[in-house]
Amino acid sequence: MTDDRAPRRGKVDRDVLESVVRPNLGAAREDVRLGPAHGVDFGVVDVADRAVVCATDPISLLPELGYERAGRFALSFALGDVAVSGVAPTHFCPSFALPSDVGDDEFEAFWAAVAAECEALGVAIPTGHTARYPGASLPWVGAATVLGVGDPDDVIRPDGARPGDRLLVTKGPGIETAGLFASLYPDVLAERGLDEATIDAAAALLDETSVMRDALAAAEAGRESAGSDGSDANETNEERTADADAGVTAMHDATEGGLRGALCETAEAGGVRIDVDSGAVPTNVAAVATCEALDLDPWACTTSGTLLLAVDPAAVDRVVATLESRGTPVGVAGEVREGSGVFVDGERVEPPAEDASWAAYERLSGRR
């Protein structure tokens, strides 16, 4: 029997991943420490005494943002999946399939912004591919593989959340969706009753869609010994072990599927239950207002820049203080428990069947 349902937009669902992708992963190699799995954003390959964290993501080019801003936005999305490993991205390898209506001057502006941001972040560009092809179209213009070369002990696995850990959430739901739609369709939002100040505040959120610096700062704070500032030098090893903490045990960038999807993926990857207090999740007023004006559930649409962290209770204060010192809103929003699933304010929630922003983008882009 054939399935007449239209394929979902965005990432394939878990059934396709498990039945089509995962059984067909090429050669089995001992150096692959972490491979593809549902809810897992990156892979890990061991090379000598180094861990190479790797992730591949699509590249978008949205001329309406301005080519420089579009370049920074595209790069932030690509780097995030490696940054949540706790290892800094070190190499960016893009492949561009450009449409013919993106001229050399436009691409130069886009690429200059990408390269400048890479330089600022210490990320090299060792290889790539750039071409124009018939049939290529905006906004998806290729893909990139990002590598992070680092200490194997620094890798924070996406399936590492443990019962007893606290759940931290930064920035809140709907950040990316609001920033993108307010930047692309301010007139639509004005027609739907949003005032200019709210639209401007929402558009500015597009510059908050990177998790890289937050993720790496949180990971470093988690690695600090609980007794590193003022511990007793006469403590026994046993006493130090009792006081030790595991720091940050898992991180996830809340991209496609939004905050709800990211929570479900984190719980599933770790084989745990997550209980969330929605009142403790940071909320950006402009983001929520923008999503609601477009009839979108802010918890079910992409919010790149919002970071979920499972953190050992002993490390929570250090991680929160580090994020707050960066000016990043963060809430201790829940707890990891034995069991399975995600419960928000006591009610079980499921991941969205499809990211809510896809239908909205299709509808709004068709107005032109």
Cα–Cα distance for residue pair 117/133, rounded to 1 Å: 27
Pair of tokens at residue 19: 């039945």
Give per-residue pLDDT as tens, 126-162. 999 999 999 999 999 999 999 999 999 999 999 999 9
Pairing verdict, β 91-98 and 140-150: antiparallel
Span 14-154: which CATH code?
3.30.1330.10
CATH superfamily of 166-224+245-365: PurM-like C-terminal domain (3.90.650.10)
Residue 6's pLDDT is: 63
pLDDT one digit per residue (tens) for the chain, 368 residues: 445 556 778 888 888 888 999 999 999 999 999 999 888 889 999 999 999 999 999 999 999 999 999 999 999 999 999 999 999 999 999 999 999 999 999 999 999 999 999 999 999 999 999 999 999 999 999 999 999 999 999 999 999 999 999 999 999 999 999 999 999 999 999 999 999 999 999 999 999 999 999 999 999 999 986 444 444 333 333 333 344 689 999 999 999 999 999 999 999 999 999 999 999 999 999 999 999 999 999 999 999 999 999 999 999 999 999 999 999 999 999 999 999 999 999 999 999 999 999 999 988 887 54
Task: Look at residue 4 in the predicted model and tell me its pLDDT.
Answer: 52
Cβ neighbours for 119, distance < 8 A, ≥ 6 positions apart = none
Distance (Å, rounded) from C-alpha 278 to C-alpha 286?
A: 17
Locate the domains of the chain by residue range: 14-154, 166-224+245-365
Sign of CA dihedral 155, 268, 54, 299: negative
pLDDT digits (tens, 9 = 90+) for 162-220: 999 999 999 999 999 999 999 999 999 999 999 999 999 999 999 999 999 999 999 99
- Give the pLDDT confidence score for residue 186 in this predicted structure: 97
Question: Is this prediction's pTM over 0.85?
Answer: yes
Please state the length of the chain.
Answer: 368
Instruction: Report the distance separating Cα 285 and Cα 173, nearest Å.
Output: 10
Residue 91 is given by DSSP the state E
Residue 256 near residue 361 (C-beta atoms within 8 A): no
Q: At 348, give phi and psi (nearest 5°).
A: -70, 140
Q: At 147, give phi and psi (nearest 5°).
A: -115, 150
Separation of alpha carbons 54 and 43, rounded Å: 5
Q: Where are the alpha helices (DSSP H) in 185-339?
A: 186-191, 196-204, 212-223, 237-243, 258-270, 285-293, 316-325
% of the chain surpassing 90 pLDDT: 85
> How far, in Å, CA of 141 to CA of 62, rounded?
10
Q: What is the pLDDT at residue 237? A: 35
Structure tokens at 156: 């924070």
- Reported as type and span, the H/E element at residue 306 is none
Q: How far is CA 229 from CA 100, 236, 318, in A?
A: 58, 17, 12
